[in-house]
A = this chain, B = another copy of it.
């Protein structure tokens, strides 16, 4: 379901958030799909329940999943929880951060842009299935 890589620089909870978000966005987990329980996933990954709960809280805040108490967590119908201004702002921030990280690697702009474009296409392709 979700894999944790110890060598990854990202915190465990972020790996869970990123992994699930990707599966939801690509449609691998369609709206209505049930998500592993907090205790179940924690047990499977041999991590703490609080860590999983915090990751799920993040996804809930993003409007990707919702909890039905006593039942479990489920993928939501897609909806925007953020205003367009807020989304624009966050996109700009992320682009800036990305540019700063990449600029020192001294690649040609086209190489970087192509790579981003290809990665986004991969996601869009899965979405189309």
A residues at B contact (CB < 8 Å):
18, 21-22, 25, 62, 64, 78, 80, 82, 87, 90-92, 94-107, 109, 111-113, 115-117, 119-121, 123-124
Contacts and interface: CB of A to CB of B under 8 A. Distances in A.
Taking the full assembly, how many copies of this chain does it contain? 2
Given A22-B103, A104-B25, A91 B117 contact: no
A87 B21 CA distance: 28
A87 B106 contact: yes
Contacts of A105: 82, 87, 90-91, 94
A124 B108 CA distance: 9
B91 A107 contact: yes
A21 B113 contact: no
